[in-house]
Amino acid sequence: MFENGMDEHAKVFAIAVAAELSGMHPQTLRQYDRLGLVSPGRTAGKSRRYSMRDVAKLREIAHLSAEGISLEGIRRVIELEDRVNALSTRVRELEAALADELLNRPGRRVFAAGTEGDVISVKAGTRIRRSNQVVVWRPLDRH
């Protein structure tokens, strides 16, 4: 979602608008669709509809092409970037699931130091109230 609430994946732009936003000719967009570089949505009448994400991808394709990368190379770069994004999303999901599991595991024990230096067990999710007393430590004189 963009700040204005628009979904970047919503397929709303006709090919002429997407071509203008990406700085390309509509025929180039049709070719990229045939090659599978960009996959626009389709209306009931089979017209292509592009999202802001598609337009961003078209701009990236133009940039890579300007650097001299072939269309097959661009296809591979995009494929790998999509795979990295999918794997990053999955890692975040698994990290969240692991954190939830660790927090909600029955019998989980948390330990803290008591005021006398002893070890005490506390219920998961509770905080120990800390004393605001000042303690001065002085080593024993051992002559």
Based on the structure, what is the number of domains in the chain? 2
Does residue 101 share a domain with residue 81? yes
Give tens-digit pLDDT for 21-80.
999 999 999 999 999 999 999 999 999 999 999 999 999 999 999 999 999 999 999 999
pLDDT of residue 138: 72
Does residue 119 share a domain with residue 81? yes
Does residue 62 share a domain with residue 48? yes
Residue 47 Cα distances to 14, 18, 36, 43, 62, angstroms: 8, 13, 16, 5, 23
Which among 44, 68, 92 is the end of a domain?
Answer: 68
Q: Which of 2, 1, 6, 8 is nearest to 50 (CA)?
A: 8
Q: What's the whole-number mean pLDDT along residues 110-121?
A: 72
Domain extent at residue 12: 1-68
pTM of the predicted model as reported, rounded to 2 decimal places: 0.61
- What percentage of the chain exceeds 70 in pLDDT? 79
